Amino acid sequence: MPWQSICRRIGPWIGLLLLLVGCGGGAMSQGDPSAAIYQPTPPQPQEVGPRLVGPIMYTVDARSRDVWMYFDFARGAVVAVQDPRTDSWDLMFQRYVIKTNGGHTNPTGQGALLSLGERDFAAVTKVPDKAEFTSDVHPKNRPSSYNAVIAKWSRYT
């Protein structure tokens, strides 16, 4: 399947997934009566194919400081990854850090992100014709790779 076709199918879901990861971490604290709302979605990886239509809600448990959680859009779930350079995945999460399967994070991967700016999420129905996707980079002044599109996806206030 061509890369543009994949991006058109999964692009709108990235925002929803990022929203859920952001919501999940705060609500999982002890003593929070709403914690049950943000329980991690049990991983049940299976090829989604044309069934991936419309918004889906998926909560990733990315609280660990040591363990990366890998999400694969083609299987619609968190997946076990033994070798990030060869196994199939799209986004990886660890606490507030999100990386794509491409660029400096994985030079053999093709993952990249597109910033659509601030928009009504429901109004996003396709990838713009002249979309320019951004891969992960690793500048000398940072300890690891990151993607500028989501470098500041959360606000701590």
38 assigned to some structural domain:
yes
Taking the C-alpha atoms of residue 153 and residue 157, their distance in angstroms, rounded to an integer, is 13
**What mean pLDDT is reported for the chain?**
77
Enumerate residues 6+ apart whose C-beta is below 8 A from 2: none
Does the pLDDT at position 26 exceed 90? no
Q: What is the pLDDT of residue 20?
A: 44
Q: What is d(CA 5, CA 94) in angstroms, rounded to the nearest whole number?
A: 28
Token pair recorded at residue 76: 């619609």
What CA–CA distance (Å, rounded) separates 96 from 155? 10
In terms of pLDDT, which residue wins out, 67 or 139? 67
Residue 125 included in any domain = yes
Q: Is residue 139 part of a domain?
A: yes
Question: What is the three-class DSSP state of 69?
Answer: strand
pLDDT at 64 over 50: yes
Q: Which residue has the higher pLDDT, 103 or 14?
A: 103
Residue 156: inside a domain, yes or no?
no
Q: Give SS3 for 103.
A: coil
Residue 155 lies in a domain: no
Number of domains comprising the chain = 1
What average pLDDT does range 66-73 have in this prediction? 94
Residue 108 has pLDDT above 70, yes or no: yes
> Average pLDDT for residues 126-133, to the nearest whole number?
88
- Examine the pLDDT at 3 and tell me if it is beyond 80: no
Determine the structural domain holding residue 19 and report its residue range: 3-150
Least confidently predicted of 6-10, 83-87, 141-145: 6-10
**Span 26-42, mean pLDDT?**
61
At residue 39's C-alpha, the angle toward residues 37 and 42, to 5°, is: 135
Task: Measure CA of the first residue to CA of the last residue in the chain; give whole Å.
Answer: 42
Which residue, chain included where needed, has tokens 């991690």?
A: 40
21 vs 157, higher pLDDT: 157
Mean pLDDT for 74-89 is: 91
Residue 98 lies in a domain: yes
**29 domain-assigned:** yes
pTM for the whole structure: 0.69
